[in-house]
Amino acid sequence: MKILLDSVILIDHLNGVRAATDYLAKVHLNAVISVVTRAEVLAGCDPPDAPPIKQLLDAFPALTLDAAVADLAATLRRQNKWKLPDAFQAALAQIHKLQLATRNTKDFPPAQYDFALVPYEI
């Protein structure tokens, strides 16, 4: 099964978290990101650091948002009181039948959401 990488996994890797780096090395051929993840990661970097970070992001296919994803995200946001980026991630995972690799157990406890996967803890 393909893996949708949540922003926190890539941010951990960029911050030198060994568990994140090891996880990415293990799943990189089966991993994708979303345009939401791309925007969140790039929003947190300084412009001089952007080229190597874009190169990392470009290594993963990026899922885009469409009307079906937006409609499901809106429903999930209302139902779960999630922030919109989290609702988009969940909608993409569900529509594309992906596991969402995240450390965000507050919003995505794996016992409650079968699409959620917590690959490591720090």
How many domains does the chain divide into?
1
Residue 122 lies in a domain: no
Residue 12 lies in a domain: yes
The whole-model pTM stands at 0.94
Q: Is 3:23 a contact under the CB 8 Å cutoff?
A: no
pLDDT at 1: 64
Residue 80 lies in a domain: yes
Residue 16 lies in a domain: yes
Residue 25 lies in a domain: yes
Domain containing residue 18? 3-117
Residue 109 lies in a domain: yes
Residues 33-71: pLDDT tens digits?
999 999 999 999 988 889 999 999 999 999 999 999 999
CATH number of 93's domain = 3.40.50.1010
